[in-house]
Amino acid sequence: MDPALLRERELFKKRALSTPAVEKRQATSESGSHKKKKPKIDKESSSGSKHSTESSNGNFNIKTSSGYKFGCLAKIVNYMKTRHQNGDTHFLTLDEILDETKLLDISMKQKQWLMTEALVNNPKIDVRDGTYGFKPKYNLKDKKALLRLLDKHDQLGLGGVLLDDVEEGLPNSAKAIKALGDQIIFVTRPDKKKILFYNDKHCQFAVDEEFQKLWRSVPVDSMDEEKIEEYLKKQGISSMQETGPKKVLPVQKRKKQGGQRKRHFKTHNNHLAGVLEDYSDGVPVKK
């Protein structure tokens, strides 16, 4: 081999060893490994934190909504009604009510609303010295009180009493009604609601057949409810329409006016009548 070529080869090796080399591939692989090591953000945790911040800001909080407030009020009223029907008629404080209805997690603002507005203005809640009790339509203690109420309605011509009102105001009403037996009469209305009447046994007497025939001979097919009610009012007898289903009156439509009203325009310069001239047809000819 040529000795000149050997010398050049040795010089090339020395230059190569003395010059440091940097591999670009290794750098790219290292940077890629660093990118892979970056922690991933958990979408669920981020969404959960977002919801928590929204709820903390008051954008979506069930316990502060109006529906939750009135739901608590309805639960309290139903509880007070149930305990009254079971015979627990003693009054309770608001803290006792919240404890028994398991509503201890309400806020102070809602508690203040119950004390100052909701319970005080509710027609089914009676308030006495900061305590609360159920307020039925008829406050009946026992079966004797129920019988007196039905007798009073019968004497005054007020008719019967709804079974729903009796069950609401009389503790253990089913037991009391069963004990009265034939002293009361049940009548079912067309809307399936039952009415209790006093069974006045003094009015149970035999009627002669001749009077029965006269009674049945009077035709009432042509008489509607309005005419019967009008006749009863003239005789000083009140009907039972208050306890019956209420009639919904049709909404009367307002009649449109036939012709439009003539509009009167205000005139000006009345004091110059006869002085001013009309130029609508051109310049007037001088006389």
How far, in Å, CA of 43 to CA of 287, rounded? 100
Residue 246 vs residues 241, 250, 266: alpha-carbon distances, Å: 8, 13, 53
Tell me the fold of 67-134: Arc Repressor Mutant, subunit A (1.10.10)
Spell out the residues 6+ positions from residue 255 whose beta carbon is closer than 8 angstroms to its own: none
Residue spans of the domains in the chain: they are 67-134, 137-219
Q: What's the farthest any 2 CA atoms get from each other in the chain?
A: 163
> 202 φ, ψ to 5°?
-70, -20
Neighbour tally for 177: CB within 10 Å: 19
Q: Are 197 and 160 in contact (CB under 8 A)?
A: yes
> Across residues 181-198, what is the average pLDDT?
89
Per-residue model confidence as pLDDT tens digits over 71-130? 889 999 999 988 888 888 889 999 999 998 998 888 888 888 988 888 989 998 989 888
Q: Are 122 and 79 in contact (CB under 8 A)?
A: no
**pLDDT greater than 60 at residue 276:** yes
Identify the band that residue 283 occupies on the pLDDT scale cut at 50, 70 and 90: low
pLDDT at 255: 62
pTM of the model: 0.48
Mean of all residue pLDDT scores within the chain: 76
For 137-219, CATH gives 3.30.420
Give the SS3 label for residue 162.
strand
Give the closest residue to 78 by CA, choosing from 2, 142, 134, 146: 134
